[in-house]
Amino acid sequence: MTVTSSEQAQILAEALPYIRQFAGKTLVIKYGGNAMTDDKLKEGFAQDVVMLKLVGLNPVVVHGGGPQINELLEKVGKQGEFIQGMRVTDSETMDVVEMVLGGLVNKEIVSLINKHGGKAVGLTGKDGHFIRAKKLFLKSPDAGVIDIGQVGEIESIDPSLVSLLDSQDFIPVVAPIGVGLDGEAYNINADLVAGKLAETLKAEKLLLMTNTPGVLDKQGNLLTKLTAKRIDELFADGTISGGMLPKISSALDAAKSGVNAVHIIDGRVPHALLLEILTEAGVGTMIRAE
């Protein structure tokens, strides 16, 4: 489809109110799914992040890396295992997680953003110990308390390092690895890190990129707007389950803790970030506390 010059001008004009509204505001973006593995989508994501920074917003990127971790685990003869949407992480798996998230994936994202004119800086929670974590234990009605290894829950986030980078026009790119009091590394679900970081930074928006159009009902229809009450109902009847549990829980906690709006968006859509933030249409589900 060819877009004429007048149509391009109209698109830019429609973006102006949103640019004005969100200027100087912080956006936390959880980057994952196909947008991290498809070359064209990766380039588009990096361009979007740079564009948002250039027009005066402060994007902070938190990334996952599940497929890349699984790929490297297979190469060393290990099979990925998940319980309640969380990766079981023994010490050998943790080494792989740190190598992939803190190294390969993080540096690729930083390089892509810098290639398109941004000033990205890669971080893990170990840097300045800014993500403090403790060991996470899961609970099950059948199995009781479940130990899933070096998986962490967040105790606290020190926002000063990220805020400093933001203020100097850098774009922080955060790998979801926390550190315990003993210096032990913890693998933390990226959705949870993004949500807690959005709360701590008092972000205007939290955007969670997925491989679905958003939150779907049992008939497969997109739910474009959700409240806390409606989400509780979707948890109760099993509509939200599996890998979506930590994502939606994180979104709901962030909305209840002062983040103005949480968006679950389809990362398979080219330039999904710009469509969601700078246009009326949007491309996913918006969650507010009420």
Inter-residue long-range contacts of 279-283, CB under 8 Å, 24+ positions, other chains counted = 279/11, 279/14, 279/15, 279/18, 280/14, 282/224, 283/213, 283/214
- Binding site members: 65-66, 87, 187
Query: Model-level pTM?
Result: 0.90
Q: Assess contact for 72 and 103: CB atoms under 8 A.
A: no
Residue 1 included in any domain: no
How many domains, in total, are found in the chain?
A: 1
Can you read off the two tokens belonging to residue 181?
A: 């009091």
Residue 9 included in any domain: no
Residue 8 included in any domain: no
Residue 5 included in any domain: no
Alpha carbon 112 to its chain centroid, in Å, reads: 17
Residue with tokens 């564009």: 51
**Residue 125: closest CA among 186, 200, 66:** 186
Residue 171 included in any domain: yes
Residue 6 included in any domain: no
pLDDT tens for the chain, residues 1 to 290: 455 777 667 777 888 888 999 999 999 999 987 788 889 999 999 999 999 999 999 999 999 998 899 999 999 898 888 887 788 999 999 999 999 999 999 999 999 999 999 999 999 999 999 999 999 998 888 878 999 999 999 999 999 999 999 999 999 999 999 999 989 999 999 999 999 999 999 999 999 998 888 888 888 888 888 888 888 888 888 888 766 777 788 888 888 888 988 999 988 988 989 988 888 766 788 888 77
Distances (CA, A) of 210 to 77, 112, 196, 202, 265: 28, 20, 18, 23, 6
Bridge partners (DSSP) listed for residue 266: 210
The residue segments making up the domain with residue 160 are 14-287
Can you read off the two tokens belonging to residue 193?
A: 């890190």
At 25-76, the pLDDT tens digits run 999 999 987 788 889 999 999 999 999 999 999 999 999 998 899 999 999 8
Query: For position 48, which CATH number holds?
Result: 3.40.1160.10
Residue 7 included in any domain: no
Nearest-angstrom CA–CA distance, 132 and 122: 18
Residue 4 included in any domain: no
Secondary structure tally for the chain: helices H, strands E:
10, 14
Paired sense of beta strands 205-210 and 171-175, if any? unpaired
Nearest-angstrom CA–CA distance, 86 and 260: 27
- Binding site members for substrate: 65-66, 87, 187
Nearest-angstrom CA–CA distance, 173 and 94: 20
